[in-house]
Structure formats: C-alpha cells, structure tokens
Structure 1
Amino acid sequence: MIHVLFVCLGNICRSPMAEAVFRHQVKEAKLEHEISVDSAGTGDWHIGKPPHEGTRNKLTEMKINQDGMRARQVTAADFTTYDYVIAMDDQNVQNLQAVGAGAADRVIKLLDLLPDQPVRNVPDPYFTGNFDEVYELINKACSRLLEKVRAEHGIEAD
C-alpha cells in the first residue's frame, strides 16, 4: 500500500480538499486497494473539526465525497507512515521539515508538480475565500501526483 498525506496549516481548507480530490481520482482509477490518502495540518487550532464550509461546499458541488473528514495535526510518526508528504505552500514545507527532521526529503510542494503554473503556492482560501481557484489548482496537481505515483511504483493505467 502506498500512503499519501496532504498537509496545510490548519487542515480545514486546502489539505482536506486535496485529500478528497486525490481520493476521488484514486477511486476513479480503481486504485483504492493500492493507494491510501489522508491529510493533516501543521497547527493544532482545528483538531477534530470538519473541513471549512467553503471546502465542503466546493467538494459537494463537484460531487466529491468528504464523509468523516476531521482535522488532525501532523506528527513525526507520519514521516514513517507516509510515502509521500505533500505540502500546500513554502511555509508548510518549512514547518514539516522542523517536525520530520531527517525525513524532509519526502516532502513535496504540491504545485512543484505543475512547473508551468505561475502560482507556486496553493493560496489559503481561509483568508482569500477563493475556493474555486484552490480547487482548480489542487485538481490539476493531484492528477499529476497520481501520474507520478503510478510511474514510480509501476502501476499500470486502466
């Protein structure tokens, strides 16, 4: 089983959106038995809370399941559990490197998977309110991530 963890600041906007979108893509590719998906935040403010209303609304609009999602904080143990730790922005990368000393090479910034994309950090819709833009960026980058995971683990396309 390949384990993927998405990380943002509070685990209520960007990383749960990425978790739900990637899980949806994995399910559409019929790879749920090979790839597991989760999300976490570097901060502890929202532990136990569901995703932000804006994230929930966007996922509902796109018919993407979000049942049972609750915020949690990333731990050092996550670096031994997860094969891919995907950060939403530069600050998340720095925070993750502090938590996962020695395993920082496993951290990938999500938009680095879209090198032609002018936006380099997934904007935080908690502050901008732009859940549409965030969804578009996440959806494209998650598609690229799925291609990367398949290529690196020899998983054939349907």
Structure 2
Amino acid sequence: MEKKKILFVCLGNICRSPSAEAVFRGLIEKEGIQDQMHVDSAGITDYHAGEPADQRMQEHAIKRGYNLTSISRPVNPRFDFKEFDMVIGMDNQNIRDLERLADGESDLSKIFKMTDFCKECFYDEVPDPYYGGDEGFELVLDLLEKSCTGLLNFLKTTE
C-alpha cells in the first residue's frame, strides 16, 4: 500500500475528528501498517485551537481502548489540501465548508464524508455529540468504528 495521508475534519476538532483519528490509528496499528499512513485531525473553526479533545469524548473513547491525544487546530486550506490525500468531513456542513475552502478540482477531489465508507450505518453523517448526553458520544464511536473499518478496506482495494 502506498503511504496515505488522511485528515479527519469536524467543526471544532474536539469530539468527532480526534475520535476518528484515534479509531483509525488503532486500526492501522492493529494491522501493523502505521508506517504506511499519516493521520491527523482538524476543525473548520478555531474555537478550540490548542485544546485537547472534549473530556466527555475522551472518557467514552478510553472505555473502548482509544486514546485521544491530538490537540485541536483549524483546517489550513493552503497546507492541508496539498499535504493530505484525503480530507474527510464528519457531516454535510463540514463537507460544504471544506468545498468552500478548496481551491479547484484537485482539492475538491480529496474531500470525502466519513459515513461514505460505512456499509452498515443508518446515518448519512456523524452527528455532533457536543450538546447531548452519553448516548451521543457512544453513537459517534459506533459510527466511527464502522466507517474507519470501511475506510481501511477502501484504501486496501485502491492501492
């Protein structure tokens, strides 16, 4: 597999995208292919720049064996669209925002939605759990585990 660079994106980079980064990192480590991947996460906004992942998200992730170590940063369109092969948004608004930040067809061709890789999801996007309760954080992790598995399978078939 050719080295792939993947950026996961959500609104503030404190719940969904750092979780996607951790879940995907766990999958590629289990497969022993972490040296063939570069994985990062970012937010559309800079509201939480420099902050760790939301404490509630971290607690739910830890229960499943994921360690959310990333520090929030905003998307840098000039850098990120050049650096990454895939820029994966969590919801429809993230996709619209990324498309607005893109500079031409080359950038646009790198934008994907997380649930596009999920064959068994009944959701067409990963909902933001920030203002909800425990069930929202668990749902996010359920969707990300399925979607990240689908993403890894997609990458294996397109090498």
Question: Normalising by structure 2, what TM-score?
Answer: 0.91
CA distance, structure 2, for counterparts of residue 27 and residue 6 of structure 1: 17
**In 1, are the aligned partners of 2:85 and 2:110 still within 8 Å (CA)?**
yes
Match status 1:148 vs 2:140: no
- State how many pairs are aligned: 152
Instruction: Give the corresponding residue for 1:24.
Output: 26
CA distance, structure 2, for counterparts of residue 101 and residue 127 of structure 1: 32
Residue 50 of structure 1 aligns to a residue whose secondary structure is coil
Match status 1:131 vs 2:137: yes
Question: Which one-letter code corresponds to 1:97 in the other structure?
Answer: E
CA distance, structure 2, for counterparts of residue 121 and residue 128 of structure 1: 16
**In 1, are the aligned partners of 2:120 and 2:146 still within 8 Å (CA)?**
no
Match status 1:122 vs 2:126: yes
Instruction: Give the corresponding residue for 2:109.
Output: 105
Equivalences for 1:89-100 in 2 at 5 Å? Answer: 89-100=91-102
CA distance, structure 1, for counterparts of residue 155 and residue 56 of structure 2: 29
How far does residue 114 in structure 1 lie from its aligned partner after superposition?
A: 2.1
Which of 40, 46, 49 is residue 47 of structure 1 equivalent to? 49
> Which aligned segments of 4 or more residues in structure 1 are displaced greater than 4 angstroms?
none
CA distance, structure 2, for counterparts of residue 126 and residue 113 of structure 1: 23
Residue 126 of structure 1 aligns to a residue whose secondary structure is coil
Residue 38 of structure 1 aligns to a residue whose secondary structure is strand
**In 1, are the aligned partners of 2:121 and 2:146 still within 8 Å (CA)?**
no
**In 2, are the aligned partners of 1:24 and 1:65 still within 8 Å (CA)?**
no
Instruction: Give the corresponding residue for 1:15.
Output: 17
CA distance, structure 1, for counterparts of residue 131 and residue 116 of structure 2: 22
C-alpha change, 1:59 and 1:116, in structure 2 (3 Å) is closer
CA distance, structure 1, for counterparts of residue 64 and residue 116 of structure 2: 24
Question: Which one-letter code corresponds to 1:18 in the other structure?
Answer: A
Which of 88, 91, 98 is residue 90 of structure 2 equivalent to? 88
How far does residue 8 in structure 1 lie from its aligned partner after superposition?
A: 0.2
Instruction: Give the corresponding residue for 1:74.
Output: 75
Alpha-carbon displacement from aligned partner over 1:32-70 (angstroms, at most 9, x marks no partner): 110111000000100000000121101211112223x10
Question: Normalising by structure 1, what TM-score?
Answer: 0.92
Instruction: Give the corresponding residue for 1:60.
Output: 62
